Amino acid sequence: MALLDILRYPDPRLHKIATPVTEFGTERLRTLVADMADTMYDAPGVGLAASQVDVHEQVVTIDVTEAQDDLMVFINPEITWSSDERAVYDEGCLSVPGVYDGVERPSRVKVRAFDLEGKEFTVDADGLLAVCIQHEMDHLKGKVFVEYLSPLKRNRIKAKLQKEERGLAREAAQRGARR
């Protein structure tokens, strides 16, 4: 399968709202999920939303196991219940490399979604899985976890990543000029 390019914050495409998947069981959907899984594992990460790879459809891959051997695929996910109890977890994001910060979310959620063939299922999640599901579903709504942080932190992160991006672009241009 192919490794996909992950959009980096503050890319405006990360704020596009994903549309529901309407055709299940297609080769295109299978390929997208396989490529997303390969990209997520390679990064390495525990979750990836299609929005992060510039495919604005409601598709999420998650694997929170240490062995990376339990891939979960959520298509058109919907949180049907969340606990009143909240917890703060240090979150990171493949679209915001090197940045981790505390985000408060419901500590438990119930999610309804569809698999690759369009079969509906539900998952009761807590701990890291609950955090990951909520984080990835935010991407489908066009929201990046840094938006939960203070404007000061968010602006610092944006400036840092933009500076890194300019440095990477300069290096690539210099390599191209040497050829």
Please say whether the beta carbons of 19 and 57 come within 8 A: yes
Q: Check 66, 104, 136, 164 and give the catalytic one.
A: 136
Task: Give the Cα separation of 100 and 107 in Å (integer).
Answer: 18
Which pLDDT tens digits describe the chain residue by residue (179 residues)? Answer: 799 999 999 999 999 999 999 999 999 999 999 999 999 999 999 999 999 999 999 999 999 999 999 999 999 999 999 999 999 999 999 999 999 999 999 999 999 999 999 999 999 999 999 999 999 999 999 999 999 999 999 999 999 988 888 887 788 788 777 76
Please say whether the beta carbons of 30 and 116 come within 8 A: yes
Q: Is the peptide bond before 10 cis (omega within 30 degrees of 0)?
A: yes
pTM: 0.92
Residue 132 annotated in ligand binding: no
Q: Is residue 136 annotated as a catalytic residue, yes or no?
A: yes
Residue 15 annotated in ligand binding: no
Residue 93 annotated in ligand binding: yes
DSSP tag of 5: P
Domains and CATH numbers, the chain: 12-147 (3.90.45.10)
pLDDT in tens, 37-68: 999 999 999 999 999 999 999 999 999 999 99
Q: Which residue has the tokens 């300069």?
A: 170
